[in-house]
């Protein structure tokens, strides 16, 4: 198979639009994109681009008066907003140029419903001002990490062996898919910026401009990961001190040239003083100093800097139980609240560690009210099955976005964050994401960034309807069975009760309970013959619970009130500790691991039932991956159970086989 | 530093010879080498190549009558043998051409003692007919293993990034060092034969011939690792079945061409059906079938095939306690005893597993009386500190070679083996071996292969005397302090009581107690909260003890008689089991690990005392490595102790800090 999968935009998804008379009114590249989409759809399904229309897609300025009446005199909003309404057999979408584009894809999602009964004008606007995908793509193949760091879908769609891949049609198709879910920003290279990639800022800038040119008609701005040491490694200066005038001048000049090449360039993304990347600490400066330097040179052009809060000591001594990586981001950044420039955005991983299957929400999110925050998710499944396991992540993200750091009724994470950013799961694989069903995660990310209140099941239904339009009603139930609970299934057979990790060091696939236990990475479970878990209480542990506001600081501190699923993240408990479920910790470990593997075993027959309904190649690919998932889930089950049985000596209450 | 270290052949080591009148008599390339060595020595120290002589070095045919009398009418022996005697102020060495070369270096080792009091003629002959170094060097840089697999001394001295390194002077210097310790065979490429390396047999043969040309004057034959699949991957046949006539014809023709290019080519080295390498199993043939195919085509030219016995299931299920990797070589090969051709040599690792710091001797050595055996050692320190730790291995090798498989008074391993082979520890590093003191291991290997009865301490004295000739008497004591017990020190702070492994998977450096515990590699310790060790008894375990003849089959089977240092290799015991030493197993673990790290800490001041005596660059290099060794030893101590404390719950009897 060399053809690229159509994902959630197969031709059939445009049938409702394509079989109608459509007026597209307005100017500019985004409206041109809409016109092109509608034209292609009409060519396929017998409709027409016409004056008299069943559907009007127009910018406010170009909206015909008749159509304007359908919207009941609604007022224009921001560039990305749109209104949609239907009256007297005409469906009208009006908005800013990007809004019209998003409105088009809204109509695609609605399908025939958009042309049924009248409905009053509804305003649509994105909850997050920036909905961004970070590509951890390298230009050069990294000797350890490969072309895409933590990539599980083949090579990069942008880069190949040291230069641009050159297949801009593929990039264009990607931009189209992203526009259809509302993504409006893409960072095109890895946050770990190596030598070649650093030069994207300077002499390889043309490659970035090419990508920007292709993505522009889809409303997507291009961002660039830069190395904080650029003035030294590229500019030949002897310092990268953010308060040095020459350094500032160098960045100003470099940025000027970027905007000459890419007038709508989005901005810079920086991982500084983290896992070996250079940063302001080397010069005795703060991260605010570092971020503001770049914010300052970007501001004249309307650009922003995304500054990652993922800063911790990755050379920790495992013997030292007082240091706690979970504390690091808050310890580093909370004191800087209020010091960041207006166009500096602090990009915070959703949890305090590193994209584990279960983590509490990062306390940074509640700790910096005077700082613009982007919450970072990981669509690429580094710790959640690496696109070999089915793991539909929207339920986890929905929990994160709905979490109320100040307690029930207070603002939610979605209300605090101005942006939602995710590490992309896309590569040069024909299915885009390696596992065809992992497309749903990319889809759901965009949809939740637009509207964090959406229900993960409904998102899945949307995705199924678009991706499998001809057979949606026959595949919906089986796919929901396979995907709805897949995150919780994955959690059951992997690291228990929020303790995290237990993966093979390096590649992070498959189990290795002690793999990180005696390393410098700060990721420990402290299991001994008596118990397991990390004491992060103020009373006897690292004090991490104190980084939360009330009520969570008390809830997490309390062994009684702490939610079961996070128990081992916050507490070290004996194996005999009884959970709210009524089970002991050790029996919970056994039960969930047997159950998780059994749940995976049950997926294959469900999938087999879809044979003949979905494309045979796709069917075969998912089938093979389900086999691997089952093998891996059993390996997890057996290693985890054996490990804890050998340590605890407690037999399984049900006498099942533990090796 | 770009100069290459002189190792055990600095100019000063030739002072005794170079300050005398020396007659070199005979013809051929080896005698030319002797003449050149003596000429260079005399040029440096005022002696002369002359007729009237203090020293005569001659082949039997060219031996002057007067000199012959000094040797008391002794008879000529084999090509590599020599006699040395001294009478009336004349020292005489006579032998075959290689014998004269080895005799020269014997005189070098003797130094002034060779020219002191008269001594009667002594015959010298090598105990092992072949004394061979296997280079696990790749031609192409392997993406995981690098240029040299398990190499810790920089790149290959033969190959560089896909082709010959081209620095034949370096290879010449290597040949000279090897000749000085009696090595007479070198395999120039990795036993894991990848695509490029396979072609050394055919279109890249010229590169091998170049190496053979340089090594020939030092009495060293070149051998080649070949892939058993060569007829398929190089010859385009559709089978590599050893009984297929086309396959045989292909090998015969390829071998014919090899001997056209290299008339004294040594032979082939094969790792078959092992860790993914192809072999005769694919065709339902035995390893004897495979080896005899190659032996057959080599026989007309006097070549040999080395066939490795390192065959085991590297995809074992850790859940299955009945499969035992230690059994594999004997299970596979013992039934084939008597079936191998005369010029097929079965190459057996000295222990049943894989070059751990402590293993029993391989039972294969006693199980195949009708098969020519080579015992394989690992000079490269894969599991013994990777040339960052001081670990003088001669005491271990001496134990192996002196082991009597049939009990006290019976034949020893050295008596059974016809050859001694070792994986080289040499690379493009200026000190040859990364750690300068690791040169002693290469030296000792050659010396023990020549005479397995040598005392490791005396070998070390020789090495010190040659390597540091000017200051030998002042550095001898400190170096002996550092090196004599270094193997046992290394054992103390690493895996205890013969259980092995506990290293980081992949690179094998540093501790990871469970690193291989749940893997397919067959290397387990089975530690649980009650005890540790592998039950390999016939009574209750894998039955491995039954592969030994009496008395060892009974000694190892018996919990009471089994030597302490191998206890956990043969038995699974509770932590409270009392050793012959009177300590419990758990207290032994704690005590040895504290002691091992303390012993390493004591090395640095001793080494510091050599400042000003040895070359400053060498002194600095060893100092840095000792710091790393200490860091690593403490890491081993803490991980092992913590692991077993967490599992056993038994506190240290001396109340020392365990994390």
pLDDT of the residue at A1: 38
Q: Which residues contact B540 (CB under 8 A, 6 or more apart)?
A: none
Q: Which residues contact B133 (CB under 8 A, 6 or more apart)?
A: B178, B183, B185, B186, B187, B379, B421, B422, B423, B424, B426, B445
Q: Which residues contact B611 (CB under 8 A, 6 or more apart)?
A: B619
B259 close to A (CB below 8 A): no
3-state helix/strand/coil string of A277-328? CCCHHHHCCCHHHHHHHHHHHHHHHCCEEEEECCCCCCCCCCCCCCCCHHHH
Q: Which residues of A touch B512 (CB under 8 A)?
A: 514-515, 518
Q: Dump pLDDT digits (tens) for B31-80.
A: 999 999 999 999 999 999 987 789 999 999 999 998 999 998 788 889 99
pLDDT-above-70 percentage for chain B: 100
A407 Rama class: left (phi>0) / alpha (psi -120 to 50) / beta: left
Nearest to A358 by CA among A595, A632, A565: A565
Nearest to B290 by CA among B276, B312, B269, B315: B269
Nearest to B393 by CA among B401, B373, B636: B401
Q: Which residues contact A312 (CB under 8 A, 6 or more apart)?
A: A274, A325, A328, A329, A332, A522
Q: DSSP character for B164?
A: E
Nearest to A638 among B319, B512, B643 (CB): B319
Dist CA B283 CA B306 (whole Å): 20
pLDDT of the residue at B609: 97
Interface predicted TM-score (ipTM)? 0.89
Closest CA of chain A from B201, distance in Å: 29
| Residues of B with catalytic roles | 275, 354, 382
pLDDT of the residue at A73: 74
Please compute the mean of the pLDDT values over residues A544-550 and round it to a whole number.
98
Closest CA of chain B from A513, distance in Å: 8
Query: How does residue B615 score in pLDDT terms, banded at 50, 70 and 90?
Result: very high
A105 Rama class: left (phi>0) / alpha (psi -120 to 50) / beta: alpha
Closest CA of chain B from A324, distance in Å: 16
Dist CA A462 CA A444 (whole Å): 9
Token code pair at residue A173: 């198709």
**B634: nearest CA in chain A?**
A319
Cβ atoms of A447 and A157 closer than 8 Å:
no
Could you give the 3-state DSSP secondary structure of residue B584? Answer: strand
pLDDT of the residue at B396: 98
Q: Which of residues 421-450 of B touch A (CB under 8 A)?
A: none
Dist CA B548 CA B535 (whole Å): 15
Cβ atoms of B289 and B243 closer than 8 Å:
yes
A514 close to B (CB below 8 A): yes
Q: Dump pLDDT digits (tens) for B466-503.
A: 999 999 999 999 999 999 999 999 999 999 999 999 99
Dist CA A202 CA A189 (whole Å): 14
Half-sphere CA count of B22, side-chain side, radius 13 A: 30
Dist CA B27 CA B33 (whole Å): 10
A647 close to B (CB below 8 A): yes
Phi, psi at A164, each rounded to 5°: -65, 145
- Residue contact B642–A512, C-beta within 8 A: no
Q: DSSP character for A252?
A: H
**Which contacts of B165-172 are long-range, i.e. CB under 8 A and separated by 24 or more positions?**
B165/B428, B168/B210, B168/B211, B168/B214, B170/B4, B170/B428, B171/B211, B171/B214, B171/B215, B172/B214, B172/B218
Interface test with A, best of B518, B640, B658 (most A CBs within 10 A): B518
Please compute the mean of the pLDDT values over residues B133-151 and round it to a whole number.
95
**A636: nearest CA in chain B?**
B518
Residue B1 pLDDT greater than 70, yes or no: no
A529 close to B (CB below 8 A): yes
Query: How does residue B427 score in pLDDT terms, banded at 50, 70 and 90?
Result: very high
Cβ atoms of A101 and A59 closer than 8 Å:
no
Burial class (CB in 10 A: 0-12, 13-18, 19+), A380: buried
| Residues of A with catalytic roles | 275, 354, 382
Interface test with A, best of B529, B575, B631, B641 (most A CBs within 10 A): B529
Q: Dump pLDDT digits (tens) for A333-387.
A: 999 999 999 999 999 999 999 999 999 999 999 999 999 999 999 999 999 999 9
Closest CA of chain B from A490, distance in Å: 20
Lowest mean pLDDT among A2-11, A76-85, B347-356: A2-11
B651 close to A (CB below 8 A): no
Cβ atoms of B280 and B288 closer than 8 Å:
no
Nearest to A646 among B513, B528, B635 (CB): B528
Please compute the mean of the pLDDT values over residues A266-281 and round it to a whole number.
96
**B640: nearest CA in chain A?**
A518
pLDDT of the residue at A75: 84
| Tokens 């030219």, residue located | B301
Please compute the mean of the pLDDT values over residues A261-266 and round it to a whole number.
98
Count of beta carbons in the 10 Å neighbourhood of residue A33? 23
Nearest to A513 among B514, B642, B646 (CB): B514
Average pLDDT, chain B: 97
Query: How does residue B101 score in pLDDT terms, banded at 50, 70 and 90?
Result: very high
**B141: nearest CA in chain A?**
A143
Nearest to B647 among A511, A518, A647 (CB): A647
Q: DSSP character for A138?
A: E
Give ∠ CA A12-A14-A19 in degrees, rounded to 5. Answer: 105
Cβ atoms of A355 and A400 closer than 8 Å:
no
- Residue contact A646–B647, C-beta within 8 A: yes
Dist CA A113 CA A86 (whole Å): 11
| Percentage helix, strand, coil for chain B under 3-state DSSP, each rounded to 5 | 40, 15, 45
| Tokens 């302490």, residue located | B564
- Residue contact A647–B529, C-beta within 8 A: yes
Dist CA A221 CA A302 (whole Å): 12
- Residue contact A659–B528, C-beta within 8 A: no
DSSP string, A470-530: GGHHHHHHHHHHHHTTHHHHHHHHSS-TT----B-TTT--SB-TTTTTTSTTS------SS
- Residue contact B527–A642, C-beta within 8 A: no
Secondary structure element (H or E) that encloses residue A177, with its range: helix A168-180
3-state helix/strand/coil string of A178-232? HHHCCCCEEECCCCCCCHHHHHHHCCCHHHHHHHHHHHHHHCCEEEEECCCCHHH
A122 beta partners: A84
- Chain pair A-B, CB pairs under 8 angstroms: 60
Q: DSSP character for B544?
A: G
Q: DSSP character for A611?
A: B
Q: Dump pLDDT digits (tens) for A589-640.
A: 999 999 999 999 999 999 999 999 999 999 999 999 999 999 999 999 999 9
Cβ atoms of B268 and B306 closer than 8 Å:
yes
Q: A486-493 vs A394-402: helix axis angle to the nearest 10?
A: 90
Could you give the 3-state DSSP secondary structure of residue B414? Answer: helix
B658 close to A (CB below 8 A): no
Nearest to A639 among B518, B642, B659 (CB): B518
DSSP string, B104-148: HHHHHHHGGGGGSS-EEEEEE--SSSEEEEE--EEEEEETTTEEE
Residue B2 pLDDT greater than 90, yes or no: no
Could you give the 3-state DSSP secondary structure of residue B480? Answer: helix
Token code pair at residue B409: 């008074």
Phi, psi at B453, each rounded to 5°: -85, -5
Closest CA of chain A from B152, distance in Å: 19
- Residue contact B647–A529, C-beta within 8 A: yes
- Residue contact A646–B318, C-beta within 8 A: no
Q: Strand B267-270 relative to strand B130-134: parallel, antiparallel, unpaired?
A: unpaired
Cβ atoms of A168 and A158 closer than 8 Å:
no
pLDDT of the residue at A233: 96
Phi, psi at A47, each rounded to 5°: -80, -170
Measured in residues, chain B has a length of: 659
Q: Which residues of A touch B528 (CB under 8 A)?
A: 645-647, 649
Query: How does residue A548 score in pLDDT terms, banded at 50, 70 and 90?
Result: very high
- Residue contact A649–B319, C-beta within 8 A: no
pLDDT of the residue at B76: 87
Dist CA B13 CA B462 (whole Å): 11
Average pLDDT, chain A: 97
DSSP string, A72-101: TTPPP--TT-EEEEEETTEEEEEESHHHHH
Residue A50 pLDDT greater than 90, yes or no: no
Interface test with B, best of A514, A532, A639 (most B CBs within 10 A): A514
Cβ atoms of A187 and A225 closer than 8 Å:
yes
Q: Which residues of A touch B319 (CB under 8 A)?
A: 638, 642, 659
Residue A488 pLDDT greater than 60, yes or no: yes
């Amino acid at each position: 198979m060399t053809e690229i999968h159509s994902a959630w935009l197969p031709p059939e998804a445009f049938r409702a639009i394509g079989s109608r008379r459509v007026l597209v009114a307005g100017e500019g590249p985004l409206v041109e994109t809409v016109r092109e989409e509608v034209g292609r759809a009409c060519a396929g399904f017998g409709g027409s681009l016409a004056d008299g229309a069943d559907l009007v897609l127009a910018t406010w300025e170009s909206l015909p008066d008749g159509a304007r009446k359908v919207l009941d005199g609604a007022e224009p909003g921001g560039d990305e907003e749109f209104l949609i309404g239907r009256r007297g057999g005409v469906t009208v979408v009006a908005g800013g140029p990007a809004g019209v584009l998003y409105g088009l894809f809204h109509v695609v999602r609605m399908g025939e419903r958009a042309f049924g009964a009248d409905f009053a004008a509804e305003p649509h606007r994105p909850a997050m001002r920036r909905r961004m995908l970070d590509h951890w793509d390298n230009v050069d193949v990294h000797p350890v990490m490969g072309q895409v760091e933590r990539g599980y879908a083949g090579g990069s769609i942008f880069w190949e062996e040291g230069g641009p891949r050159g297949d801009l049609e593929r990039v264009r198709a990607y931009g189209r898919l992203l526009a259809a879910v509302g993504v409006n920003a893409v960072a095109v290279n890895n946050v770990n910026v190596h030598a070649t990639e650093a030069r994207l800022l300077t002499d390889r800038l043309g490659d970035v401009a090419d990508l920007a040119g292709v993505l522009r008609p889809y409303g997507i701005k291009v961002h660039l990961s830069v190395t904080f040491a650029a003035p030294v490694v590229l500019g030949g200066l002897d310092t990268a001190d953010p308060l040095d005038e020459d350094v500032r001048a160098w960045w100003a000049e470099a940025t000027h040239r970027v905007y000459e090449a890419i007038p709508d360039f989005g901005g810079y993304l920086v991982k500084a003083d983290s896992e070996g990347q250079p940063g302001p600490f080397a010069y005795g400066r703060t991260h605010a100093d570092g971020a503001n330097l770049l914010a300052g040179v970007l501001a004249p052009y309307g650009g922003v800097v995304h500054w990652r809060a993922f800063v911790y000591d990755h050379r920790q001594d495992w013997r030292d139980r007082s240091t706690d990586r979970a504390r690091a981001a808050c310890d580093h950044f909370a004191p800087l609240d209020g010091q960041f420039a207006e166009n500096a955005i602090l990009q915070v991983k959703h949890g305090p560690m590193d994209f584990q299957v279960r983590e509490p929400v990062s306390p940074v999110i509640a700790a910096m009210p005077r700082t613009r925050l982007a919450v970072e998710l990981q669509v690429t499944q580094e710790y959640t099955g690496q696109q070999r396991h089915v793991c539909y992540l929207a339920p986890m993200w929905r929990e994160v976005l709905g979490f109320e750091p100040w307690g029930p009724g207070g603002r939610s994470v979605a209300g605090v964050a101005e942006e939602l950013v995710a590490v992309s799961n896309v590569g040069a694989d024909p299915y885009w994401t390696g596992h065809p069903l992992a497309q749903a995660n990319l889809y759901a990310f965009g949809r939740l960034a637009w509207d964090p209140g959406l229900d993960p099941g409904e998102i899945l239904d949307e995705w199924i309807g678009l991706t499998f339009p001809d057979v949606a009603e026959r595949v919906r139930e089986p796919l929901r069975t396979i995907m709805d609970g897949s995150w919780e299934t994955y959690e059951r057979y992997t690291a228990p009760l929020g303790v995290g990790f237990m993966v093979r060091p390096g590649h992070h696939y498959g189990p290795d309970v002690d793999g990180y236990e005696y390393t410098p990475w700060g990721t420990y479970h402290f299991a001994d013959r008596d118990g397991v878990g990390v004491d992060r209480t103020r009373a006897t542990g690292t004090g991490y619970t104190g980084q939360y506001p009330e009520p969570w600081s008390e809830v997490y501190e309390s062994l009684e009130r702490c939610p079961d699923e996070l128990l081992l993240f916050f507490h070290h408990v004996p194996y005999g500790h009884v959970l709210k479920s009524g089970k002991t910790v050790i029996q919970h470990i056994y039960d969930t691991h047997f159950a998780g593997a059994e749940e995976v075993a049950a997926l294959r027959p469900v999938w087999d039932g879809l044979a003949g309904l979905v494309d045979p190649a796709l069917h075969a690919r998912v089938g093979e991956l389900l086999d691997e998932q089952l093998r891996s889930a059993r390996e997890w089950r057996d290693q985890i159970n054996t490990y804890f049985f050998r340590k605890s000596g407690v037999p399984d209450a049900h006498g099942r086989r533990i090796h």
